[in-house]
Structure 1
């Protein structure tokens, strides 16, 4: 299956934003070793894609809320079918189908961005000032646009360069190998860090899933993908890493806004028996520590009758007065 439609779409968005910044008056020449019109074009490529995918992001949040609400039922199934993994998986799939929850929805926005990532990777990889005019005008680029993008830099490092660029590739781009490695290396570390933070932010707000499959996906997102970038990042052009970092920063801001506006239900992360009240405070546990009940308080003793003190100047009362006299034997 040809992916040309992706390359044409990415090129169109990229060139449209570059034309916007040219029209506004962003300098075409490098300022501080950076061609800002191309860097801004990549940044707004991210904005365009995220706006298009915003409905999918909303569905992702709704699916995560549904998964949170099902956690008590999932845990009950785990207790019921402990040791019977096949039955457990079948029961959980039936539960998800009945409640219309999809444990894979959390990864959908990332999967939908893979074609965009691959398209930008391909477009930037082909930037080469030595190409013929026929190759330069591919995907509706003009020769001037192609030459401008091929010469575009971020702090003197070409956006088409990468950490693993060969000496021949660096020579074609007119780049310094040390500068490219330093810039690409720093950006790869930032890419790893922001990728980790986007997953950590969501897990801290929603908690670890009870479902083993869902928890495995969470661990993959939190640790697996950032670690894989340490190796794969060496083959990414600097422009692609800029796209990835910008996308991560956009995701952090978007998640923070959504999680504040629509906070996760408190009961989703509460332990059994410690559900929170409306004010978010944990109710006191009945029965004291370790389930032992406290002894009931002894009833108060009746107060002793009080005798009023005699007023000053009054004769003392005779306690024997008024008693019947004893008869003499």
Structure 2
């Protein structure tokens, strides 16, 4: 019994319900297209459910950016004052600035709440693709998924090398697409929406490497992941790219390169 089981079972119920709905509309119960649509439905429903947390993250980033200049001035003012009274004054002033700009004390907590959902979804798809029933995804549905093929390759197949060149083409294609979407998201929408000024050089270098690291991580993981999980990664990465592009375009973090680009564009059209 895992602490993720209740979430996995809830997601399994969504996956089973999506399959039932599609088959009731005439879709073939055992085709890869039907299961691809089921996986897409789960991703979309989960991402819609998590939109309030994504919006909270944007608000926190904006509030933190507005408070940043004052916090930097405060840090500089108290840099050489280490006595207890100065420390208390520093913390009190820091709390005042955070309250003024509505920066929550536990700003990362809502974002951390997403982790169990992602882990449960990952384990659900991985277990079902491995032939293990989970909740509403009973033996019959698991067998149906196991029998579905994409270009002749089973959705439960794993690794780059299997049944000939077609297997390699399918797995490498899905892995490459997921990696490309992740790279584009980090490179063109996430990094430009961050404020790296004043950050340690190591942090700046790490952020610059994130597009490559995220893409490389997916390519490596694809070597052991089932095809069904790769399809999930592609759909989820596509949603993440679109969501990040919307934030980059219309809700950029104040003081970031994305915000500067938006301001320059607004002046050019005025």
What interval of TM-score do these two structures reach, taking the shorter chain for normalisation?
0.7 to 0.9
Task: Give ranges in structure 2 of 5+ residues lacking alignment.
Answer: 81-89, 258-262
Conserved 8 A contact 1:71-1:209? no
Change (3 A) 1:263 1:219: closer
CA distance in 2, matches of 1:121, 1:97: 47
- SS of the residue corresponding to residue 249 of structure 1 reads helix
More relative contact order in 1 or in 2 (CA 8 Å, sep 6+)?
2
Count matched residues.
246
Conserved 8 A contact 1:158-1:180? no
Conserved 8 A contact 1:60-1:105? no
Cα deviations across residues 201-236 of structure 1 (Å, max 9, x unaligned)? 122244535444975774564343322223222111
User: 1:98, CA displacement in angstroms?
Assistant: 5.2
Matches within 5 A, 1:142-291: 142-163=138-159, 176-200=163-187, 201-208=189-196, 210-212=198-200, 215=204, 218-219=207-208, 221-265=210-254, 268-269=255-256, 280=267
Aligned match for 2:53, one of 40, 53, 56:
56
Partner of 1:319: none
Conserved 8 A contact 2:178-2:234? yes
Partner of 1:131: none
Partner of 1:8: 9
Change (3 A) 1:109 1:188: farther
CA distance in 1, matches of 2:61, 2:135: 39
Structure with max Cα Rg: 1
User: 1:143, CA displacement in angstroms?
Assistant: 4.0
Conserved 8 A contact 1:162-1:180? no
Task: Give ranges in structure 1 of 5+ residues lacking alignment.
Answer: 84-90, 128-134, 171-175, 271-275, 282-329
CA distance in 2, matches of 1:105, 1:214: 22
The TM-score normalised by the length of structure 1 is 0.61
User: 1:71, CA displacement in angstroms?
Assistant: 3.7
Conserved 8 A contact 1:38-1:149? yes
User: 1:280, CA displacement in angstroms?
Assistant: 4.2
Partner of 2:19: 18
The TM-score normalised by the length of structure 2 is 0.73
CA distance in 2, matches of 1:36, 1:164: 21
Matches within 5 A, 1:57-96: 57-73=54-70, 75-76=72-73, 95=94
Give the CA RMSD over aligned residues: 3.8
Higher mean C-alpha deviation, range 6-15 or range 105-114: 105-114
Cα deviations across residues 14-64 of structure 1 (Å, max 9, x unaligned)? 11111111111123464xxxx211110001110011011111111111122
Decide which structure has greater helix share: 2
Change (3 A) 1:263 1:228: closer
Conserved 8 A contact 1:162-1:181? no
Task: Give yes or no for the alignment of 1:27 onto 2:31.
Answer: no
Partner of 2:123: 118
- SS of the residue corresponding to residue 234 of structure 1 reads coil
Change (3 A) 1:192 1:80: farther
